[in-house]
Structure 1
């Protein structure tokens, strides 16, 4: 399904896991291609100092900045070349990309440039106060990318546990979910994998409305020749993601597929961005299909 794959890396442990996911997607059928992107960020000041020390001239200070920038750039390029070599040894057709600037913006721009079908990237599970205020790189990419995004934050042990598991499709029957349904069904067919369809609802009317909608969706997907199971789990307002993560753990899912809305309300900010939270806590890769991707 995905033939033009963009893997964005910062060479962190989560990015290393994301590299394996990207490689698995890029292997196999001819015609697939993988772009490996790293973004060089400008250094405003040496990392070991927060202010210009006394007795250091402006020229010396600028020289320190340039020296550290060169060293970090050389280190990143060395990591990038090693990743490229590893992927080529796996038989993957790969091209390296290096861009400068804000990582989130450059990842989106690179995806547009290469007309990527999907972006694969690591998602850090520890969310700082700056992520809350400014928004994380992953969150920005999910909201603005022209294609689906696979966010990876699981461990090697979790990856092995879900290697042969089903695909978990999460739906709230919204327009964004409709696109996610199409993507999940295509992946399940391609990988000959069971599909579990999960809806997380509140009490009362939410449950009563979800039951017939889920039954109809399961029947429709089975009509496409897929092995499908439907599940409904209860969640609390602002705590939708825990039942999703728990189901993925219990069923040893190999991937979660879900929709995401690109426009957030104040309630999303206060209560938590579901797709972002799932991507940071899931035991497997999370494929997020926004309401403006997969046109």
Structure 2
């Protein structure tokens, strides 16, 4: 078993978190088991986090702060820890996404990460991620906190109809994901449009992309790739993709019609089996 005293607290945010957790716990004169009892978890979990074998959650961090009187230290650290669990190539984008004041994205196959439910995200990540699934999931959920800020970014999402029809996880998972999308109808900072198949050829056929705008920095264009991503501030790319995105918005259903389509798919494609039976009997 690793000895946290031999860990280098400068090696990573996770190492630093574990090192600080043990330091503050011992300063409070508590064993791992005693701290676990106070925050309603096992002493084993405390030990695993102190030795970087488990990644802390935000809830865990808040309870530790309350138990040890650390004035929000671990609640602040956990954000750095969770972001560090993202793939190295994706971290620069995640950092810029968190700073953006306006995000406009076209999604060709999947619901945008900031709008995914936890179970939908787990199903998506489980395809290629096995050993670090919980870490990756926690990091994705942490990204969504930017929508809960007092001044969140304005988010405009154009979803291909394919993203609604591609069954991720199960019909139940999809129904709850679509319900989650509909929950943003009253959010003034989030707009969702569906690009129907009937549109035919369109300016997003090369795949998913995102445009980030900032108060004081140049706009950024980001495109997903396999095991890598491409991000640029090239003005010619920004101009071309901004025009392309405006055309996607013009071709897509209105937010109101998009919500009606999402609702219809929930009822017709992802309805619980008993609901279908009840309708047929009626």
TM-score, length-normalised on structure 2?
0.29
Structure having the larger proportion of residues in strand: 1
TM-score, length-normalised on structure 1?
0.28
- For CA contacts below 8 A with separation 6 or more, give which structure has more relative contact order: 1
Structure having the larger proportion of residues in helix: 2
Structure of greater Rg: 2
